[in-house]
Every structure is written in C-alpha cells, then in structure tokens.
Homo-oligomer: A and B are copies of this chain.
Amino acid sequence: MRLNKWINIVAESGLELLRKQRKKQKKEQTPSISELCNALLSNKGEALGTALAGEVVAAYATMTRKEKTVFFQMLLEKYNPDVEQINTYAKAYMEEKSRSAFQKLSEAVESPRQSLIRRINMAPGGTQTIVDIRRDLLKTLKEHTELKMVDDDLVHLLSSWFSPGFLELRQIDWKTSAHILEKLISYEAVHEMQGWKDLRRRLEKDRRCFAFFHSALPDEPIIFVEVALVKGISGSIQEILARNDKQEKVSTTDSAIFYSISNCQVGLKGINFGNFLIKQVVMLLKQELPQIKKFATLSPIPGFMNWIMSLRKSENEMTLSSEDLEILKELDNNDWFLDDEICKRSKSLLMELCTHYLFHEKQYGKPKDPVARFHLSNGASILRLNWLGDISPKGIGQSIGILVNYHYDLKTVTENHELFVNDGEITVSKEFSELI
C-alpha cells in the first residue's frame, strides 16, 4: 500500500472520530475554522494528532476569497506575540543572561502563529495547504499590507522546511509519469509549451530536464530547469524550441544551455532554489558528459522594454537623441522585427541600450533587471547578447527580442558572487566588455 493511501486512511479515521465526539457532545454544527485553530493549539490538538489539523486543511480548501481574507486577519490579530511579555523577558535576560531566561524570551518572540502553522503542517496535505495559504496571502498583501507580519511567519517556516537538503533532485524524461509531465506543461513560466508535442521535443536525447521535489508535496515539482545540449553557445530560443529541429548527437555537443527555469509554487515565492538547482545540474552534467565545456543560460531581459518605454517618455535621467527616439518609434509596430530594414537601423542602438541597461541600470545598488540580478548574484557572468534571440510575442514585448547568455563557470562563481554582493561589481566576458 502506498503512503498516500495510508495518509488518507489516517485522516479519514481521525475525522470520523472527531465527528463522533461532537455528536456525543451534541454539537451538531461544524466548528468554524477559528474554533478549529483554537482547538488545534490546545490539548485536543496534541491528543488527536493529525485529525484536527486535517479539519483545518479541509475547511481552508472550501473557503471563498473573502473568507480567506477574514481568516488572514484573524491570524494577524489573534496569534500575535505578546509585546509586554517580550519586554519583560528581554529585560530579565539582559540581567540574568541565563539559559532559562533566554528560553522564555525566545518563546515569547516566536509568534503563536508559528506554532499554529506548525500544527497545521502535521495534517495530511498540511504542507500543501500552508503553501496555498501563502499563495492566497500574497494576492491579498497588496491591499492589506498589515498582513505582511503573517507572511513573515509563513516565510520563516517554509524556508526552514524547504531547505535544499530536503529537496530531491529528479531527472525528468519521456519515461516520467504523465501526471508529472502535465504539470511541467502548465508550470512552464518562461517559454510556454502548447502541449505534449512541445514537451516531447524538450525531453529528447539532446535535451535535459531536472526538477526539485519535496517529500511533503508528492508529485508536485517545486522548480524545474530545461537544458539544451548543443554545439557552441546558443543565441536563439527559436532554434532550441523548434520541433522539427534535427537532434544533436549528444557525443558531439560541447555546451549546455539552460534555456528555462520555472518556479512551480507561487506560495514559495522568494525562497530561492534556483541557485542550488542550476549548480547541482551543472555538476551532474559535468560528470555525465565530460565533453560539455560551457554552461550558460539563454535568458530573457524582462525589464528591458519597460525601461525603453521610460526612456521614450523621458521619465529617466538618461536622454536620447531625437534620432534615436525616432528609431525607437518603430517598436510600436508589433511586427517591426520582420522588417529587415528596421532591424538594420535599430540593431546597434538597441544592443547598446541593452548593454547599458544590464550593466549600468541599478536599483538599491543591484541591476534593475530581475533575471540579471538572479544570475549575477549566483556568481554567473554576462557572456553575450543575442539579437532577435526570442521573437515570440512575449520575447518581443518584454525583452525587445534580445536574449542574454549568463555564463556559469564554477571556477569563478565564488569570486564573482563576492564581488557582486559586496561591491555590486558585475563580471562580464571580453566580448561583452567591448560593448560597454
């Protein structure tokens, strides 16, 4: 018998039990989620183990968006740490510096919310529910910034539970179960898949796909990366995704191109697995395929178009000549990239601006572009810009068709990372440095 079935049996038995108890106590109404949460933090919760937590999970699953917001408010108001207590214990610790004083302080600072969330996590499906709670909370945060304290607790616990050491790396290929593969299709965030035929191309012998899984979310990928094995660094996503592309013989390839990294769980936003995933895959491929010498991404520049628009509206410090502005007007035509004439005119300007955007445009001392920030912070370097590397509507609409290769050279990632984190310094290739 598989575990999943077991967990369900356990949960069902527990729930049945709860129902009998209630009947006996002549409580005919189902308790509210707020009553359930109270019970869960009490002795009852300890005695019944997973059953009460399971009811919270079941109750959350049926709530409307509005009810969820009320639930979040309750989490904020009823499960806060006690300020007075913290202060008292902080003072006591200051004086005594004893272990017991510190323990009291620690307990006082850990919000009851965290204890509650830990208890929910005991239920079958508990972890998934907590990830879902955070997904829903993130949507609500924009309007209800006060709920950020609830989010802090969720992030604290989820970061601990989704520690890289607890993630299982699995290779995904065409022999993988259909119900996992179908999730890749729907979770793919960078270069959309239209269906099974698109997916199949990405799982052929000259492609690789790896995902992280977590034992508490069985059969749910957490994040996955897609890799193309090719000769020479790829500059065009069209070539990589082409279905009728003739397959490369793996033994003659020399480069591994990471062309897509997709986070699957919105509720785990901000908990960084990508760094680990990329580096683990680099090491694995190095081992499996010693002929592969270069590891690089083929990445979009999602903030480039917006920045160009701000330039055109003069909302930016940098100003452009009227000539340049004239050229940029062409971008208003969705199909500009099909016109060789326009391409010819605009290429050098756009490549130059893109170089500037990636290298010079900063926010809090880090590159404005989120993808650049991610890879550079991981210790990668900028290798090359690729003109018209992605002419899909999304590619044109966000990155003005340009793709970057970020180079993952394990020999330099530590150095690069330290320079970047400490001094904001960006490492680039000789080729790219000439553009600057």
Interface residues of A (CB under 8 A from B): 1, 3, 6-7, 9-10, 13-14, 17, 20-21, 43-44, 46-50, 81, 83, 86-87, 90-91, 93-94, 97, 99, 102-103, 105-106, 109, 118, 121-124, 126-127, 146, 148-149, 152, 156-157, 160-161, 163-166, 168-171, 174-179, 181-182, 195-196, 200, 214-216, 275-276, 279-280, 283-284, 286-288, 378-379, 410-411, 413-414, 416-418, 421-422
**B86–A90 contact, CB under 8 A?**
yes
Shortest Cβ-Cβ A-B pairs, 6 listed = A47-B417, A90-B90, A13-B283, A215-B215, A109-B109, A47-B414
Among A156, A175, A279, max chain B CB count under 10 A is at: A279
Copies held by the complex: 4
**A94–B105 contact, CB under 8 A?**
no
- Residues of B within 8 Å of A417, CB to CB, are 43-44, 46-47
**B163–A121 contact, CB under 8 A?**
yes
- Chain B's nearest CB lies how many Å from the CB of A275? 7
- Residues of B within 8 Å of A9, CB to CB, are 283-284, 287
How distant is the Cα of A286 from the Cα of B14 in the complex, in angstroms?
Answer: 12
Q: B14, B152, B177: which contacts A178 (Cβ < 8 A)?
A: B177
- Residues of B within 8 Å of A379, CB to CB, are 47
- Residues of B within 8 Å of A99, CB to CB, are 146, 148-149, 152
- Residues of B within 8 Å of A81, CB to CB, are 102
**B1–A171 contact, CB under 8 A?**
yes
- Chain B's nearest CB lies how many Å from the CB of A212? 11
- Residues of B within 8 Å of A166, CB to CB, are 127, 161, 166, 215-216
Among A21, A49, A94, A126, max chain B CB count under 10 A is at: A49
Question: Contacts A1-B171, A165-B127 known; A83 to B93 CB distance under 8 Å?
Answer: yes
**B43–A421 contact, CB under 8 A?**
yes
- Residues of B within 8 Å of A106, CB to CB, are 109, 152, 156
Question: Contacts A99-B149, A165-B122 known; A276 to B50 CB distance under 8 Å?
Answer: yes
Question: Contacts A47-B379, A94-B86 known; A163 to B122 CB distance under 8 Å?
Answer: yes
- What are 22 A-B interface contacts by the 8 Å CB criterion? A9-B283, A10-B279, A13-B287, A13-B410, A17-B410, A21-B411, A43-B417, A43-B421, A47-B378, A48-B414, A50-B165, A50-B280, A83-B93, A87-B91, A99-B146, A99-B148, A122-B163, A123-B165, A127-B165, A175-B177, A176-B177, A178-B181
**A48–B413 contact, CB under 8 A?**
yes
**B6–A169 contact, CB under 8 A?**
yes
**A102–B149 contact, CB under 8 A?**
yes
**B49–A284 contact, CB under 8 A?**
no
